[in-house]
Amino acid sequence: MSQKSEYIQTETGNKVSRKSLIIGSQNIILGGKTIIQADCCIRGDLRRLVPQGQNAAAVAIAVGRYCFLSKGCLLRPPSKTYRGQFSYYPMKLGDHVFVGEGSVVEAAVIGSYVNIGKNCVIGKFSIIKDCVRIEDGTVIAPNSVIPSFSSVEGYPGIVVEELPETAAEMLELKELYKSI
Amino acid sequence: MAPKRSGASSASSAPLPPLSIDPTALLSDAISFSGTYLITIGANTVLHPRCKLNSTEGPIIIGSNCIVSERTQLIAPDIDGLVLGNYVHVEVNCHIQSARIGDATSIEVGTRLGKGSCIGDNCTLSPLSTILDVDVLPAFTVVYGENQRRVDTSSTAIARNETMLAHIDCLKKLLLNKSEKYTR
Amino acid sequence: MSSFPYIHISCPCNEDRPQTLTIDSARPISPSKSPSKHDFSFPPAAPQTPTKRRTLLAPFTPSVSFDATNLDLDDDEELTDEDEENNFDPRDPRSAFSLFPIENLLYCEDCHQIRCPRCVQDEIVCWYCPSCLFEVPSSTVKSDGNRCTRNCYLCPVCTALLAVIPVNHSTLNPGSTSDHPTGPFNLFCSHCHWTTSDLSPPIQLEKPTSISAQLSKLTHSPQDNEFTRLKQHYAQQLGNAQEDFTNSPAALTRLMGLYTGLGSSSGSHGGGRKGRGVKKLEMKEVDRPREVIEEREMEIVERMAKAGLNATTNAKQRLSQPHEPRFISDLTPTAVLLRTKRSKRCRACRHILVKPESKVQTTRFRIRLVALNYIPSLTIKRLDSTIAWNNLTPHKTHRFLLTVTNPLFDPISVSLLTPRRTPGTAFASRVTILCPEFEVGANTDVWDDALMSTKPAAVTPSGVATPPVAGSFASFSKDPKMSTVYEQKRNYTSVVIEVVPPEIPDTRDTRIRDERLLEIPIYVRVEFEAEVDRDDEEGGGGRPSHSGASGGAVQREKVEYSYWCVVGVGRVGDPVEGVVASEPNTPVRTPVGTPVKAPRTPAAMRTPLRQVRS
């Protein structure tokens, strides 16, 4: 698909484009076999502020295995005021998560086998469960919960269809990893 | 800290436009300034990395306590320039060519504001909304859904301003301040 | 419409019912390594069968009928006029109901049939709120309705989830008592900033929890109140029976019987219900059923004139509310609709095809018989990346790559048959499958896959395939253009399909009929030798066929099945200058492997998905 030199391969098989922007890489965990394409931006620097001292192992973004971050997408931990303290909170992506071109993800948790289309906006602190497809251009409102086996569309996104039992097979990304 | 890759150089290579940066403002790495008119950045304002300010057509004035996120472009539409009020929060991926944006307005992800548009105070533009050229939004307008509009009567304005201050405080602990790099 | 390309498989429920079939004569295609025992009572394929004839001929010619001028004698008897009728017509209005992507299809192991959502029966396993993901017991669903009774509410203006915020927010000083914010509280939409204070009269909640209980007190419309009054009245009347009539089906029947009883009692009092053993209930009607006053139109018009059009609801907002309010200030928060987890049964044999685990948050299944694991799936790709799916050039030969993937643990031989001209339209496209007959390797497990990747030359699918047809494949591959597969990997094989769309005028009529939509029906026939597993051979790995084929000790049998699928290739565009009508194909590959039409599928063969040749 693309020339090998575009990607830096890590020990665990992650392939990270040289043209991507990874900020705060010490706060980012990639599970392995994840692909990060050009112009992606991952904001690992927006980590959780711990009130007193102990800044131990602050993970801002955890990404599972076989994820695919398409060109120009952005992962950004969500932020809110909780108990009078404003802070960013960690974001977790499961396995086989596809993020389409130009999408902005500020979710709290994204499960496994999730396909996010092009130019979507996943609002702050939203929770997306396993086996979900989000159609192109969807805006998920902040704090939403998307249950499993859903197809979501709209402005703000609502569940428009139930996915069949084969959703995990349909949304798995092993082949996509091999193609890069 | 962060691996600096290609593109980070754009700010340093081209001649910078004249800048007037308040000493309390926080400017991250790799902000792209271009153009020839004056760019003013007010007190306590935070600019995320990779935001772009273009003053080719006119000056840009950013008020105090604002946040401008990464990959957002602020482009002055004409000689009268682009004025951001105080407490303005501009999220990521926005493309802004407005003439004026009022105080405490929140512009969410991927919003496009047309050339010369005028956004009032305390407005909220939900993600991916588009405002046409020369459009005027009165104060307290919420643009949501498929460009539907309503008036914000939630009286959350004060709370939002407080949140902005807390947010800026938080960012000041997280982001490295590189403003002296641009004023040199 | 789905984007191109797509491949939909026709569920056999499209064909004439009844579709109950001779289950005895078939055995399941079991992809699992432990098929059940009742599958094995069949003798291996007897020699004198059509199947055998086919395999013998296969090395030389595909057994498919060719161009009319190039008749294969052997298939002569199949090539009669009535073949036309057996072609699947994707444009037939009835077809649309039975065409599904393979992902949406299930497979019944007992009927040996594809099952589409139309031919399964759903049964609710549990109810849950899609927002808080709590399970709702079915008794609660019966008494309180199918909406979340906890704290999940949607914004009536924009459908986003509402959050609870204190009305008085300015308690942000970190050291203060902001750990437990004090009321009153609002429901607030973080998308459009609607709050319950926007209602007239405004609603403010005292506690940030148990919102349903608080809201139900505050948001009752006159209609709701009247309903509760009536419900209470009749519940009281039934109180003697010590039952809440909404909870027990028997009580509900009695209540319904009450009214049918009243109807018949005009003649003979209560005579109709004597045999039921139900005690006659004396029901006192509500003394004065209050009529809820409908909104007066003039008032509405006046209010509209005052408030302006922006204060009125749009159709979506109106319809999502119980009493269809006309003004935004009358919209109340809507509780989240519950969702269900459902198991699915085959309508024909009542066997369970899908059974999810009952825990709300798991996505696992106890039983999951999906067609994807039983029947080969087809995919189509462009060979030439310049082909625009939505703008195919008339008269130009478009070449696509059709890939058949085998989910079974036995190698299969596949015949793809397609009408030479797409049926059901006056503007037929010419379709040619360059290699309509080929082998697809077994779906070996990951271990074998890993082994293969280390020594790819040694173990190719053709090498391990069943002997007779594997040889034929080798002879095919000598000519790179004719009748040769394009690519063959572990468990998939790709062949080239050529499509020449015609010139289709852009008229009103063709637009209505959507003539430019190019859909190709393909008849897929699959044959394989399944091993008749015995108990002692349990877990023989992905490839039990090895020893069986040579030794003959293991019983094997030929299994054959077939189905129609429809390939949505794209849309034909406007004619391009310079590309003109030409002879069907480039001379080299003209007739070989070009089926004129799908062979007649005898009723017996059509109805069951598969059958054993014995």
Whether pLDDT at C292 is above 80:
no
Helix, strand or coil, per DSSP, at residue C505: coil
Helix, strand or coil, per DSSP, at residue C571: strand
Q: Looking at residue C26, what is its pLDDT?
A: 38
Residues of C in contact with A170 (CB under 8 A): 103
0.95 surpassed by complex ipTM: no
Dihedral, B92, B96, B101, B107 alpha carbons, nearest 10: -30
Binary contact (B1, A45; C-beta < 8 A)? yes
Whether pLDDT at C321 is above 50:
yes
Beta strands, E only, C501-609: 517-531, 556-571
Whether pLDDT at C552 is above 50:
no
Secondary structure (H, E, C), C211-252: HHHHHHHHCCCHHHHHHHHHHHHHHHHHHHHCCCCCCCHHHH
Binary contact (B163, A18; C-beta < 8 A)? no
Going by the DSSP 8-state scheme, the letter that residue A112 receives in this structure is S
Residue showing tokens 């797409």: C422
Count interface pairs A-B at CB distance under 8 A: 74
Hey, of B71, B149, B156, which one would you mutate to test binding to chain A, going by the most A CBs within 10 A of its CB? B71
Instruction: Specify burial of residue C361 (Cβ count, 10 A radius: 0-12, 13-18, 19+).
Output: middle
Q: In this predicted model, what pLDDT tens digit does every residue of C110-154 receive, in sequence order?
A: 888 889 988 899 999 999 999 999 999 988 898 888 889 888 999
Comparing B115-119, B170-174, C582-586, C609-613, the range with the smallest average pLDDT is C609-613
Q: How far is C331 from chain B (nearest CA, A)?
A: 14
Domains of chain A, start order: 4-46+56-179 (2.160.10.10)
Q: Looking at residue C251, what is its pLDDT?
A: 65
User: Mean of the pLDDT values across residues A47-66?
Assistant: 78
Confidence of residue C514 (pLDDT cuts 50, 70, 90): confident
- d(CA C568, CA C555) in angstroms, rounded, equals 40
Q: Looking at residue C461, what is its pLDDT?
A: 40
Touching subunits for chain B (3+ Cβ pairs under 8 A): A, C
Q: What is the mean pLDDT of chain C?
A: 70
Q: Looking at residue B85, what is its pLDDT?
A: 93
Fold classified for B13-183: UDP N-Acetylglucosamine Acyltransferase; domain 1 (2.160.10)
Whether pLDDT at C34 is above 90:
no
Q: Which residue has the higher pLDDT, A31 or C288?
A: A31
Which among C172, C190, C370 has CB closest to A166? C370
User: Mean of the pLDDT values across residues A146-152?
Assistant: 95
Q: Looking at residue A33, what is its pLDDT?
A: 92
Binary contact (C190, A129; C-beta < 8 A)? no
Q: Hey, which residues 204-263 in chain C have their CB within 8 Å of chain A? A: none
Residues of A in contact with B92 (CB under 8 A): 74, 76, 104
Helix, strand or coil, per DSSP, at residue B13: helix
The amino acid at residue B103 is D
Q: Which residue has the higher pLDDT, A155 or B94?
A: B94
Dihedral, C580, C586, C590, C595 alpha carbons, nearest 10: -60
Q: Are C383 and C365 in contact (CB under 8 A)?
A: no
Residue showing tokens 């109805």: C607
- d(CA B151, CA B146) in angstroms, rounded, equals 16
Which tokens go with B121?
């105070």
Q: Looking at residue A54, what is its pLDDT?
A: 60
Q: Are C1 and C330 in contact (CB under 8 A)?
A: no
Residue showing tokens 């484009």: A17
Q: How far is CA C229 from CA C246, C290, C398, in A?
A: 15, 10, 70
User: Mean of the pLDDT values across residues C206-215?
Assistant: 82
Q: Looking at residue B184, what is its pLDDT?
A: 66
Q: Looking at residue A20, what is its pLDDT?
A: 92
Domain boundaries, chain C: 6-105+376-612
Q: Are A133 and A171 in contact (CB under 8 A)?
A: yes
Instruction: Specify burial of residue C606 (Cβ count, 10 A radius: 0-12, 13-18, 19+).
Output: middle
Put simply, whether B6 touches C (Cβ < 8 Å) is no
Q: Looking at residue C167, what is its pLDDT?
A: 79
Comparing A69-78, B53-62, C140-149, C354-363, the range with the smallest average pLDDT is C140-149
- d(CA B46, CA B53) in angstroms, rounded, equals 13
Helix (H) or strand (E) holding C178: none
Q: Are C236 and C283 in contact (CB under 8 A)?
A: no
Q: Looking at residue B52, what is its pLDDT?
A: 92
The amino acid at residue C267 is G
Residue showing tokens 């992962």: A75
Confidence of residue C575 (pLDDT cuts 50, 70, 90): confident
Q: Are B104 and B161 in contact (CB under 8 A)?
A: yes
Whether pLDDT at C424 is above 70:
yes
- d(CA C596, CA C588) in angstroms, rounded, equals 18
Q: C493 has which bridge partners?
A: C404, C488
Which tokens go with C272?
């109709």
CA dihedral sign of residues C116, C119, C125, C127:
positive
Which tokens go with A45?
């620097």
- d(CA B10, CA C10) in angstroms, rounded, equals 57
Which tokens go with C407?
């989910």
Residue showing tokens 């935070």: B46
Residue showing tokens 């959350």: B156
Residue showing tokens 């298939």: C75
Helix, strand, coil shares of chain B, percent, nearest 5, are 15, 30, 55
Q: Which residue has the higher pLDDT, A105 or C54?
A: A105
Residue C541 C-beta-side C-alpha neighbours within 13 Å: 10
CB count in 10 Å sphere of residue C599: 22
Which tokens go with B50?
């990779």
Q: How far is CA A118 from CA A73, A99, A139, A171, C313, in A?
A: 9, 7, 11, 15, 31
Helix, strand or coil, per DSSP, at residue C53: helix
Contacts of C298 (CB under 8 A, 6+ apart): none
Going by the DSSP 8-state scheme, the letter that residue A94 receives in this structure is -
Q: In this predicted model, what pLDDT tens digit does every residue of C38-89 receive, in sequence order?
A: 333 333 333 333 333 333 333 333 333 333 333 333 333 333 334 445 677 8
Report percent pLDDT > 90 for chain A: 66
Put simply, whether C579 touches B (Cβ < 8 Å) is no
Q: Looking at residue C65, what is its pLDDT?
A: 36
- d(CA B108, CA C22) in angstroms, rounded, equals 63
Q: In this predicted model, what pLDDT tens digit does every residue of A117-133 receive, in sequence order?
A: 999 999 999 999 999 99
Look at phi and psi of residue C107 and say left if phi exceeds 0, alpha if psi is from -120 to 50, else beta: beta
- Parts of chain B with a pLDDT under 70: 1-14, 184
Q: In this predicted model, what pLDDT tens digit does every residue of C480-503 receive, in sequence order?
A: 456 778 888 888 899 988 888 888
Instruction: Specify burial of residue B165 (Cβ count, 10 A radius: 0-12, 13-18, 19+).
Output: middle
Q: Which residue has the higher pLDDT, C612 or B183?
A: B183
- d(CA B172, CA B3) in angstroms, rounded, equals 20
Comparing A167-171, C242-246, C256-260, C539-543, the range with the smallest average pLDDT is C539-543
Comparing A159-163, B48-52, B104-108, C300-304, the range with the smallest average pLDDT is C300-304
Comparing B11-15, B168-172, C98-102, C443-447, the range with the smallest average pLDDT is B11-15
Helix, strand or coil, per DSSP, at residue B32: strand
Binary contact (A141, C174; C-beta < 8 A)? no
- d(CA C490, CA C508) in angstroms, rounded, equals 48
Phi, psi angles (nearest 5°) of residue A108: -85, -50
Whether pLDDT at C223 is above 80:
no
Residues of A in contact with C128 (CB under 8 A): 147
- d(CA C511, CA C386) in angstroms, rounded, equals 25
Q: Looking at residue C42, what is its pLDDT?
A: 37
Q: C340 has which bridge partners?
A: C127
Q: Which residue of B has its CA nearest to A21?
A: B5
Nearest CA among B92, B156, B48 for reference residue A122: B92
Which among B148, B152, B158 has CB closest to C193? B152
Put simply, whether B2 touches A (Cβ < 8 Å) is yes
Q: Are B66 and B89 in contact (CB under 8 A)?
A: yes
Instruction: Specify burial of residue C469 (Cβ count, 10 A radius: 0-12, 13-18, 19+).
Output: buried
- d(CA A113, CA A67) in angstroms, rounded, equals 9
Residues of A in contact with C176 (CB under 8 A): 84
Q: Which residue has the higher pLDDT, C86 or C175?
A: C86
Put simply, whether A65 touches B (Cβ < 8 Å) is no
Q: Which residue has the higher pLDDT, C177 or A154?
A: A154
Which tokens go with C399?
């070449």
Q: What is the mean pLDDT of chain A?
A: 89
Which tokens go with A177?
């990893």
Binary contact (B150, C186; C-beta < 8 A)? no
Q: Are B148 and C161 in contact (CB under 8 A)?
A: no
Q: Which residue has the higher pLDDT, C135 or C612?
A: C135
Q: Looking at residue C410, what is its pLDDT?
A: 86
Domain boundaries, chain B: 13-183
Q: Looking at residue A91, what is its pLDDT?
A: 95
Phi, psi angles (nearest 5°) of residue C77: -65, -20
Look at phi and psi of residue B140 and say left if phi exceeds 0, alpha if psi is from -120 to 50, else beta: left
Comparing A108-122, B17-31, C17-31, C347-361, the range with the smallest average pLDDT is C17-31
Q: Are C147 and C338 in contact (CB under 8 A)?
A: yes
Helix, strand or coil, per DSSP, at residue C30: coil
Going by the DSSP 8-state scheme, the letter that residue A10 receives in this structure is -
Q: Are A120 and C209 in contact (CB under 8 A)?
A: no
Phi, psi angles (nearest 5°) of residue A150: -120, 150
Helix, strand or coil, per DSSP, at residue C338: coil
Q: Looking at residue C544, what is its pLDDT?
A: 38
Put simply, whether A22 touches B (Cβ < 8 Å) is yes
Q: Which residue of A has its CA nearest to C130?
A: A147
Residues of A in contact with C370 (CB under 8 A): 164-166
Put simply, whether A49 touches B (Cβ < 8 Å) is yes
Q: What angle do CA C582, C384, C388 make, to 5 degrees?
A: 85
Report percent pLDDT > 90 for chain C: 11
Hey, of C115, C148, C150, C191, which one would you mutate to test binding to chain A, going by the most A CBs within 10 A of its CB? C191
Report percent pLDDT > 70 for chain C: 60
Q: Looking at residue A95, what is its pLDDT?
A: 94
Residue showing tokens 């309705």: C145
Confidence of residue C577 (pLDDT cuts 50, 70, 90): confident
Whether pLDDT at C551 is above 50:
no
Residues of C in contact with A154 (CB under 8 A): 159
Whether pLDDT at C614 is above 50:
no
Q: B73 has which bridge partners?
A: B52, B95
Which among B49, B93, B163 has CB closest to A23? B49
Whether pLDDT at C92 is above 70:
yes
Q: What angle do CA C197, C199, C202 make, to 5 degrees?
A: 50
Q: Looking at residue C280, what is its pLDDT?
A: 53
CB count in 10 Å sphere of residue C493: 27
Going by the DSSP 8-state scheme, the letter that residue C452 receives in this structure is H
